[in-house]
Amino acid sequence: MNSPFELFGLTLTLSTAISFFPALLALVALTFLMHRTAIGLAIVSVILGYYFEIINMIAALGITSLFLMSYGFNHFQRKLIKWLLGVGIFVFSILFFIHAFPGFSNPLVIESYMVSNNAVPFSKHLNFDKLMVAIALLALVVPRGRTSMGKNSGKVFVLSSLAIVSGLAGGVLSGLVEWEPKLSPILVGWVITNLLVTCYAEEAFFRGFIQTQMQNTFKHHHLGDKLTVFCSGVLFGLVHFPGGLAYTLIATILGIGCAYGYQKTNNILVPIYIHFVFNLLHFCLFTYPFLA
């Protein structure tokens, strides 16, 4: 059952593939607003993950708590209850993101791979905890109402493109990366994990959850929209501070682009794909993950 095999550039075991596949399908379902289907698939993934010892009972209870808090946050109207549930979602999401919540055994699927000859080796875990944050928030918290994409699409395209180009240029100028076009053998596996785990989870949290609360806080301020976009971008940059000042500034630029796209369209898919396009261009055209 646990003999490793290669699939799309990822080193998997059958138990890992079986456990994660329903959760990945859940995010695809959420892309098409199939919320109940996504929650059902997430439940299947948690059961399989527990059976194959990717998570233990403590992690399963943590996931259940996150989903229940997300459901309550969306349905309770009393401010105190909603505030407490929001704090709970924030704390659990952060703990899941930094892999500090006990009970998860996130499998290593890419180990010390040299994507670029002059780069540090690249490793990647398939993060069950982060994946559950994405599903919980997108299924139960993040609003997906009518969008204003049509009238704002031009502005969003221009500013997000500017943010992507500025961020990548900043990486070159700061010495983090160099121009290095390539077609890596692990591209497909990287795309699956980066889009469906990293980008969906981070944008669901930073834009769909945090930015929405910022928007509600600043809505009566005459500069409310601008403050929301700026603060959302800066917060996204600050969480990347362990990577250094240049990395923080690049993440801030990208965060502002993603925040603007979400603020103008009210569609979480917009910042998800802005984020992913930046990461994809970085992976395919520049040193990845960064110069040694």
Residues 17-27 have a mean pLDDT of: 97
Q: How far apart are CA 40 and CA 60, in angstroms?
A: 15
The answer to whether position 182 is within a domain reads yes
Per-residue model confidence (pLDDT) at position 221: 82
Residues 154-182 have a mean pLDDT of: 96
Q: How far apart are CA 138 and CA 102, in angstroms?
A: 23
Name the DSSP class of 49: H
The answer to whether position 290 is within a domain reads no
The answer to whether position 46 is within a domain reads yes
The answer to whether position 291 is within a domain reads no
Give how many domains the chain has, as a whole number: 1
> Rounded to whole angstroms, what are the CA distances from 187 to 6, 115, 250?
13, 10, 23
Per-residue model confidence (pLDDT) at position 77: 86
Model pLDDT for residues 52-65, shown as the tens digit of each residue: 999 999 999 999 99
Per-residue model confidence (pLDDT) at position 150: 64
- Contacts for 87 with CB less than 8 Å, ≥ 6 apart: none
Q: How far apart are CA 174 and CA 247, in angstroms?
A: 9
Per-residue model confidence (pLDDT) at position 234: 96
Q: Among all chains, which residue has been given the structure tokens 């500013």?
A: 159
Q: How far apart are CA 68 and CA 33, in angstroms?
A: 19
| φ, ψ of residue 188 in degrees (nearest 5) | -65, -45
Cα angle vertex 106, ends 103, 107, to 5°?
140
For residue 148, pLDDT over 60 is answered with: no
Contact (CB, 8 A) for 158 and 87: no
Model pLDDT for residues 235-250, shown as the tens digit of each residue: 999 999 999 999 999 9
Range of the domain at 38: 5-285
Burial tier of 80 (Cβ tally within 10 Å: 0-12, 13-18, 19+): exposed
The answer to whether position 175 is within a domain reads yes
User: Rounded to two decimals, what is the model's pTM?
Assistant: 0.94
Per-residue model confidence (pLDDT) at position 146: 53
The answer to whether position 292 is within a domain reads no
The answer to whether position 168 is within a domain reads yes
The answer to whether position 30 is within a domain reads yes
Per-residue model confidence (pLDDT) at position 218: 86
Model pLDDT for residues 97-112, shown as the tens digit of each residue: 999 999 999 999 999 9
Give the ranges where 76-208 is alpha helix by DSSP (H): 79-97, 128-140, 149-173, 187-193, 200-203
